[in-house]
Chain A
């Protein structure tokens, strides 16, 4: 079974600040995938990014970047130059690459970006 810890329950930043959302996971699988999802106030769940466990190269995509450290089981997500529209709940979720292909969601981090 997998477990996810998102220690930050709520974060508030002022527009244009950078913000990093932390995620620590536990898994017994040797290969797996990690995801970040966003849930804006409208309620839908939006897929943001995916990372494979065998590729620790960190990447940047627009204002989003992520830092995957397999040695510490962390998968942190950074938004650069935050905008009010980034206000949402962000969920980290690992998934096994085995037969049990279920997303295990963390409790989420509520991000509020103030104008």
Chain B
């Protein structure tokens, strides 16, 4: 069974450009999470969805960030406009809750560099 799929794996963009990160969760999982990892702040939860509905977006840094989950097999995280401080690795994770045991399975991450 395929794991969590993220694209692109690497993204380099200029400040001010729009960036869209994509995620396909594990089939059958009903919860999806977006995390950001930086050296300074470690792993931070940005937003999570349960059954395609955003449950908690308190971790989203500011209005430049938005996330959608139009269906159970796809989610996007968009940054518009991007800034150099958004450079980080963005992870998507999925889990089966509450039927599962809450463990989250992570995608390979998208390394974003904003110049």
Q: Is B109 an interface residue (CB 8 A)?
A: yes
Q: From DSSP, what is the main secondary structure of chain B's interface residues?
A: strand
Interchain Cβ contacts within 8 Å, total number:
48
Using known A-B contacts A102-B56, A103-B45, A105-B42, determine if residue A95 contacts B108 with beta carbons closer than 8 Å: no
CB distance from B45 to the nearest CB of A (A): 5
Using known A-B contacts A44-B108, A107-B42, determine if residue A101 contacts B103 with beta carbons closer than 8 Å: no
Taken together as a complex, chains A and B put the C-alpha atoms of A105 and B44 apart, in Å, by 8
Q: Is B12 an interface residue (CB 8 A)?
A: no
Using known A-B contacts A102-B45, A105-B42, determine if residue A97 contacts B102 with beta carbons closer than 8 Å: yes
Contact B102 A95 (CB under 8 A): yes
Contact A102 B48 (CB under 8 A): yes
Q: Is A50 an interface residue (CB 8 A)?
A: yes
Taken together as a complex, chains A and B put the C-alpha atoms of A22 and B52 apart, in Å, by 36
Contact of A101 among B42, B97, B106 (CB under 8 A): B97
Chain B interface (Cβ < 8 Å from any Cβ of A)? 31, 33, 42-43, 45, 48, 50, 55-56, 89, 91, 93, 95, 97, 101-109, 111
Chain A interface (Cβ < 8 Å from any Cβ of B)? 33, 35, 37, 43-47, 50, 52, 91, 95, 97, 99-103, 105, 107-108
